[in-house]
Amino acid sequence: MKMTMPPKEQKRLFVSLASLTIVAILLCLVYVIGTKSLDSYDPIVSSDSSVADAADASIAKADKQEMPEAPVSANNVSENTAQVTDTLSSNTVSDTATDVTEEPAPSAMPDRVTYAEGFYYESLSETVKERINGKSYKPDCIIPYEDLRYLSVLYCDFDGNTQTGEIICNKAIAQDLIEIFCELYQNEYQIDKIRLIDEYDADDDLSCADNNTSCFNYRTVAGSNNLSNHAKGRAIDINPFQNPYVTYPNGTVRISPPGSEPYADRSSGLKHMITEDDLCYKLFREHGFTWGGHWKSLKDYQHFEKKE
Ligand SMILES: [Zn+2]
């Protein structure tokens, strides 16, 4: 048959076979190149995930994982564009830097949300749970750990110096607080101290006497058996010495903490008092909090809360 095929047919068959061979060679080349580029990519992926597995190796790394959420969840994006942009750009840098920093860093929880540089919140780490267990987190606490968040914030102290503060709050107000404290810091609003109340053995009187700003503490309302909104992590006390707790038992006036009596006169104009013209007051109100300074039966000028 083949031998009898006319020359024209033979030529056509040859061309077809040659074309098929070329296509086959090209397919092989594409496959080889594809495999090689995958091979060269693979080590980057595995080294990257090994860094992530190291968990606490780098805060920047963990921050990066959560960063896309920050600008999305931020309500006042326009006012905080600078922060978000800053964080995003520094994030890009950490993204390209594959090496882990040498210095030890605190463990970053996988759900950490970084709002701006120096401002983040996350679930409670085992270390934080150990710090609060038996203190602000009492054995009979009905609030699960999962409902609480640990915040790290920057603030200006009474000397105008930048300090790092720690707050534990309900997860429902974590985003509110991080935005409020970021804006307070941007505006150099002065706060004396922001420490976990556990550093005072969860004793509210000691914390207030030391003018400490704090939020979560599983306790009842002073002088009653009702759970305070602090117990749910939904209330925060700011500069309690300059913003005392004033009650009127049996027609008398009781002012707490001791020594804060001059601040019970809200017309005195003394420094660090929260008034309706105050930035702190305005921010908390904007975020849907109520202020203890508006209460009728007693005055709790340090206190802001956001109920369920
Ligand atoms: Zn309070």
237 CA → ligand 1 middle, Å: 5
- Convert the pLDDT of each residue in 110-163 to its tens digit: 999 999 999 999 999 999 999 999 999 999 999 999 999 999 999 999 999 999
156 neighbors 188 (Cβ within 8 angstroms): yes
How far, in Å, from the CA of 245 to the mean position of ligand 1? 8
Give kind and range of the element (H or E) at residue 236.
Answer: strand 235-237
Under a CB-based contact definition with an 8 Å cutoff, are residues 241 and 269 in contact? no
Q: Give residue for tokens 């809360």.
A: 305
Full-model pTM: 0.67
Give residue 222's pLDDT. Answer: 79
Residue 302 alpha carbon to ligand 1 centre in Å: 6
126 CA distance to ligand 1 middle (Å): 26
Rounded to whole angstroms, the Cα distance separating 275 from 269 reads 9
- Give the pLDDT confidence score for residue 308 in this predicted structure: 85
C-alpha of residue 143 to centroid of ligand 1, in Å: 18
How confident is residue 79, by pLDDT bands cut at 50, 70 and 90? very low
pLDDT in tens, 6-54: 566 666 655 565 555 555 555 544 454 444 443 333 333 333 333 333 3
Q: What is the pLDDT of residues 166-179, one digit of tens each?
A: 999 999 999 999 99
Residues that place a CB less than 5 A from ion ligand 1:
235, 237, 303
Distance 229 CA to ligand 1 centre (A): 8
Q: How far is the CA of 203 from the centre of ligand 1 (A)?
A: 13
Evaluate whether 275 touches 284 at the Cβ level (below 8 Å): no
Task: Provide φ and ψ at 262, rounded to 5°.
Answer: -60, -25
- How far is ligand 1, taken at its centre, from the CA of residue 2, in Å? 100
